[in-house]
Structure 1
Amino acid sequence: MSDTASTAGTLLERMGIEVTLVTAERAEGRMPVAGNTQPFGLLHGGASAVLAETLASFAAQRHAGEGRATVGIELNATHHRLAREGWVHAVATAVHLGRSLATYEVTVDDDGGRRLCTARVTCMLIDIRA
């Protein structure tokens, strides 16, 4: 994704994900709990995973640079706590920035700063064929 990529009509728009900072080394964003819950009213674990992969992918794309694309190839998420309301806030921090792979640790916290989820995301960096 480029800085000018539109999120209109994408999963990010439907889930209310807001990306607030993107560098190769770090990405930050947030997502509302409302609308992203499972049937019992708790934040869906898959929603946390989507937020984690989104931020890691944005950062990996910044690392990859022009003429390259990123493809998520691995996602691992551990859910520590639950959330019923408010927003969740996530930070993706680079663990490895290589020529063909970029790996990020992503933390997802609630409005009170309590850790809800820890994820690891690895993206493959590929050349775009014309």
Structure 2
Amino acid sequence: MSDKFTPHPRSAELLAAGVPDEYHSMLSRHGVGTLVEKMGIVFTHMSADSMVATMPVEGNTQVTGLLHGGAHVVLAETLGSFAAAFHAGPTSRVVGIEINATHHRGAAGGLVTGTATPVHLGRTLTTHEVVMTNEAGQRLSTCRITNMILSD
């Protein structure tokens, strides 16, 4: 038996994304995904009741220099899906079945914070509202995502 600590297969990826150590076992099978890494999304709070992450505007802009609307949706889907997975538990998978977004204000720099809160936490479906804000706390967009829970 080895005395060496064996890290989870995706520990570096999970640490870079801000995932607390206590969730590494649960998330090590799939990690956070390459799009999360490419977009610079970093989790700051993780639970079934609230999922929060930041994302830089820089590197995620449209041609006019504003945060791309699709980037808002990527952050929202990431947060809503992770929150649904936390609710569903380790023996289930979740798949997104619907997402929509309303953009309220543009962002040309800094960090965007997304916060997912549950609207409905059921046995087979979850729905989350995800609000993106700028560093001044102003609402940039509001998204709603519904996920289906699939039992393994």
Compare CA radii of gyration and give the structure with the larger one.
2
Does structure 1 residue 84 correspond to structure 2 residue 126?
Answer: no
Secondary structure, counterpart of 2:73 in structure 1 = helix
- Residue 19 of structure 1 deviates from its aligned partner by 1.3
- Structure 2, unaligned runs of 5 or more: 1-22
Q: Residue 35 of structure 2 corresponds to which residue in structure 1?
A: 11
Paired position in structure 2 for 1:65:
89
Amino acid at match of 1:50: V
User: Cα RMSD between the aligned structures?
Assistant: 1.4
Q: Which contiguous aligned blocks of 4+ residues in structure 1 show a shift greater than 6 angstroms?
A: none
Aligned length: 127
Report the TM-score, using the length of structure 2 for normalisation. 0.80
Q: Which has the higher contact order (CA 8 A, sep 6+)?
A: 1
Structure 2 CA distance, aligned partners of 1:76 and 1:90? 15
Whole-Å separation in 2 of the counterparts to 1:23 and 1:99: 17
- 1:117 paired with 2:141, answer yes
Q: CA deviation at 1:7?
A: 3.2
**Normalized against structure 1, the TM-score is what?**
0.93
Q: Distance in 1 between matches of 2:116 and 2:83?
A: 8
Report the Cα distance in structure 2 between the residues aligned to 1:6 and 1:57, rounded to whole angstroms.
Answer: 13
**More helix per residue:** 2
Alignment of 1:20-35 (within 5 A): 20-35=44-59
1:39 pairs with 2:80 = no
Q: What amino acid is the match of 1:57?
A: S
**Aligned equivalents of 2:83, 2:32: Cα separation in 1:** 16
1:23 deviates by 1.2
